Chain A
């Protein structure tokens, strides 16, 4: 079975479709030409979701039955009319059972129970007692990653920059910070467990209590659902990076290390993905196929995804898409050059 890869950029969305071997690709697009495309999702009723943004015209959510014809969802995620809180970007769209979650900037979480037609704010998170201490990171004040426990849909984690990880054990009603073991990035004078610039989190598909976390401060692992975190960087040339992805078929973890939070570039121009075969105990360069010439580009937190069949896909800030169909043994750079890539998502065909 081939793969449909949705790629969102600063200037539109692009769809890549592969053959069964995932070695030959066709490109369709741009869709939403000129719009910033920040996230993709599947609504659960067979339709697809796509989030747009614009410096002029704000953020909105759109639906398509076929990835060709799109209609804006009028009652998409939104802060209340008359308020000062602004929705500037929809960062992530996640489906879990009958629920859809949207993480947004200005930071908040919304849930839909009707396949995305209407959205309700999760007040327990959005009005959390620590909210007065929430501060934006370089990328904004964003709820950018949602993980719903595959073993228990009432347990949900959300990552907010530069705030930290929160966990709900009651289906999103109440939330508790989960950052013990990580150094804070932003000094917090109000609360003791706020100020962590989490970039990405992923849950282990075989152990529901095991999480992995790419943080501004490095790469971390938890064995207890986020209660405690420990650093796991043996073999990495740098701890800084944005995405962290796990392939279910191989059990491998993937990160893209960058030189320091100041520079945010591949070390010495050597663009490399790193992988771990042992749950983060150690890391090594993931296979071959990287650019020979020095390459100074990065992969953003939403721009890497796995098809769970050993296919890993990433998009760079230089507009290149790289793919592997063998869990990172060999990487191929697709021939097209797109605008700056913000989001990469494997869609169900």
Chain B
């Protein structure tokens, strides 16, 4: 398995000006934030965007990460079309219009 696939939309090592990242939430988490599925955060990097998201919406932290600080196993976080689990670092530059999507893993039938 290739652990470092092409990062669609990601620009490792490229630091940008402050950019607006679109955040997409699943319905369950949107309920926690009053029904808002689409948010915006401003940041220079993906890590900065995540930090800003959790600062602006602190209720999300417990739902995305467990007590050990690890991402919850059945939560997927996508930077544009790239699952962030595939990234070696979130210190990648972001641009206006980039998306950060929270998805709940679905399996079974």
Contact = CB atoms under 8 A, between A and B. Distances in A.
Chain B facing A: main interface SS = helix
B66 A57 contact: no
B68 A84 contact: yes
Contact of A33 (B31, B59, B66, B104): B31
A229 B59 CA distance: 44
A81 interface: yes
B68 A82 contact: yes
B62 A60 contact: yes
Contacts of B32: 60, 72
A343 B74 CA distance: 25
Contacts of B28: 34-35, 54, 56-57
A32 B63 contact: no
30 contacts: A34-B27, A34-B31, A54-B28, A54-B63, A55-B74, A56-B28, A56-B72, A56-B104, A57-B28, A57-B29, A57-B63, A57-B64, A57-B104, A58-B62, A58-B66, A58-B72, A60-B59, A60-B62, A72-B32, A74-B58, A74-B59, A76-B62, A78-B62, A78-B67, A79-B67, A82-B68, A83-B67, A83-B68, A84-B68, A87-B67
A35 B104 CA distance: 13
Interface in B44-83: 58-59, 61-64, 66-69, 72, 74-75
B105 interface: yes
Contacts of A129: none
A57 B67 contact: no
Interface in A23-66: 32-35, 54-60
Contacts of A78: 62, 67
Contacts of B66: 58, 86
* Among A56, A76, A83, A87: residue with most chain B CB under 10 A: A56
A79 to B, nearest CB: 5
Nearest to A34: B28
A80 interface: yes
Nearest to B28: A34
A82 B27 CA distance: 28
Question: Closest 7 A-B residue pairs measured CB to CB?
Answer: A57-B63, A72-B59, A56-B104, A56-B74, A74-B58, A79-B67, A34-B28
Given A33-B31, A34-B28, A56 B59 contact: no
Interface in A87-116: 87
A85 interface: yes
Interface of A: 32-35, 54-60, 72, 74, 76, 78-87
Interface of B: 27-29, 31-32, 58-59, 61-64, 66-69, 72, 74-75, 104-105
A60 B63 contact: yes
A278 B61 CA distance: 51
B27 A58 contact: no
Given A57-B72, A58-B72, 13 more contacts: A33-B31, A34-B31, A56-B75, A57-B28, A57-B29, A58-B62, A60-B59, A60-B62, A78-B62, A79-B67, A81-B67, A83-B67, A85-B67
Nearest to A83: B67
A54 B64 CA distance: 11
A81 to B, nearest CB: 6
A32 B31 CA distance: 7
B68 A57 contact: no
* Among B28, B64, B74: residue with most chain A CB under 10 A: B28
B63 A58 contact: yes
Given A60-B59, A74-B58, A79-B67, A35 B72 contact: no
A81 B67 CA distance: 5
A74 B63 CA distance: 11
A329 B28 CA distance: 41
* Among B31, B69, B72, B74: residue with most chain A CB under 10 A: B31
A278 to B, nearest CB: 47
A120 to B, nearest CB: 16
Contacts of B61: 74
B59 A57 contact: no
Contacts of A82: 67-69
Contacts of A58: 62-63, 66, 72
